C-alpha cells in the first residue's frame, strides 16, 4: 500500500539559515514536526546568493546537490571541494567548518541531512530525466522533487510543478519528468 503526500512549493516559507547567512525552504523532516535541532533526517532547498560559512550541524552528515546555478567552491575542514557539476550529490560532515564561494552567481542547493547518532540511516540522492519506475525499499521513504518542470507519478495521477514534492512510502508507480527531478531515498532502521 502506498502512503503518498504532495507538498506544494507555494506552501513552503523561506526561513533564515541557522547562521543567518541566507534562506532555506524546509521540505520534510522526520520525525514529523521535528525542528532544526531534533530531526533524524531533513530535506530542504536553499537559496545561496553570497559567499560565506555554512551553518554547523553537530553529529550530522550532509548531502548537497546544486540544482540551479554554476556551482560552489567549498572548503570543508580545510579541504577544497569543487561543486561545479549540477545535479551531482556531494557528501560531507555537517560538523566540520565549511565555507562556500559562489563560482558565477547565485545557486539553489538541495540539502539532505541526517544524524549519525540515529545509526543505520542511509540516504541516496539522484537526479533523473525522463521515466523511471520508483522502487521504495521496505522501511524507506522516497521524496520526488520536481526541479525545473512538471513531473508526474503516473499511476497515482499526481502532477508536481517546479519545486513541488511527493513523499511516498510504498510503491507510487512510475515517475515521468518533462525536465529534471530529484529522487531521494531515505532508509531508517
Residues 6+ apart with CB under 8 A from 79: none
For residue 83, what is its C-alpha cell?
561543486
Q: How far apart are CA 89 and CA 125, in angstroms?
A: 7
Instruction: Evaluate if residue 95 carries a pLDDT over 50.
Output: yes
Q: Looking at residues 46-58, what average pLDDT do you find?
A: 92
Which band of pLDDT confidence, cut at 50, 70 and 90, is reported for residue 1? very low
- The label of the residue with cell 553570497 reads 50
Q: Taking the model in full, what pTM does it have?
A: 0.92
Q: Is 53 helix (H, G, I), strand (E, B) or coil?
A: strand
DSSP per-residue codes, 141-168: EEEEEE-SS-EEETTTTEEE-TT-EEEE
Q: Which long-range contacts (CB under 8 A, 24 or more apart) does 153-161 make?
A: 153/4, 156/2, 156/4, 158/4, 158/6, 160/6, 161/8, 161/9
Task: Give the number of other Cβ atoms within 10 Å of residue 15's Cβ.
Answer: 13
Q: How far apart are CA 72 and CA 150, in angstroms?
A: 26
Residues 6+ apart with CB under 8 A from 178: 149, 150, 151
Query: Which domains can be identified in the chain, with CATH numbers?
Result: 12-118 (2.60.120.10), 122-187 (2.60.120.10)
pLDDT tens sequence across 135-189: 788 889 999 999 998 999 988 899 999 999 999 987 768 999 999 999 999 998 7
Q: Looking at residues 77-99, what average pLDDT do you find?
A: 95
Which band of pLDDT confidence, cut at 50, 70 and 90, is reported for residue 103? very high
| Mean pLDDT score of the chain | 91
pLDDT score of 2: 67
Amino acid at each position: 500500500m502506498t502512503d503518498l503526500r504532495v507538498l506544494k512549493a507555494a506552501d513552503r516559507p523561506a526561513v533564515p539559515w541557522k547562521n543567518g547567512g541566507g534562506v532555506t525552504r524546509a521540505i520534510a523532516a522526520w520525525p514529523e514536526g521535528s525542528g532544526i535541532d531534533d530531526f533524524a533526517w531533513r530535506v530542504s532547498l536553499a537559496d545561496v546568493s553570497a559567499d560565506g560559512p555554512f551553518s554547523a550541524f553537530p553529529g550530522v552528515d550532509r548531502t548537497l546537490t546544486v540544482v540551479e546555478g554554476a556551482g560552489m567552491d567549498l572548503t570543508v575542514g580545510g579541504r577544497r571541494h569543487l561543486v561545479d557539476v549540477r545535479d551531482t550529490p556531494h557528501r560531507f560532515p555537517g560538523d566540520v567548518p565549511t565555507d562556500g564561494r559562489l563560482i558565477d552567481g547565485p545557486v539553489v542547493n538541495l540539502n539532505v541531512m541526517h544524524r549519525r547518532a540515529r545509526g543505520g540511516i542511509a540516504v541516496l540522492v539522484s537526479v533523473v530525466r525522463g521515466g523511471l519506475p520508483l522502487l521504495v525499499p521496505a522501511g524507506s521513504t522516497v521524496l520526488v522533487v520536481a526541479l525545473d518542470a512538471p513531473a508526474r507519478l503516473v499511476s497515482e495521477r499526481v502532477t508536481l510543478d517546479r519545486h513541488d514534492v511527493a513523499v511516498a512510502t510504498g510503491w507510487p508507480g512510475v515517475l515521468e519528468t518533462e525536465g529534471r527531478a530529484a529522487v531521494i531515498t531515505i532508509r531508517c532502521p
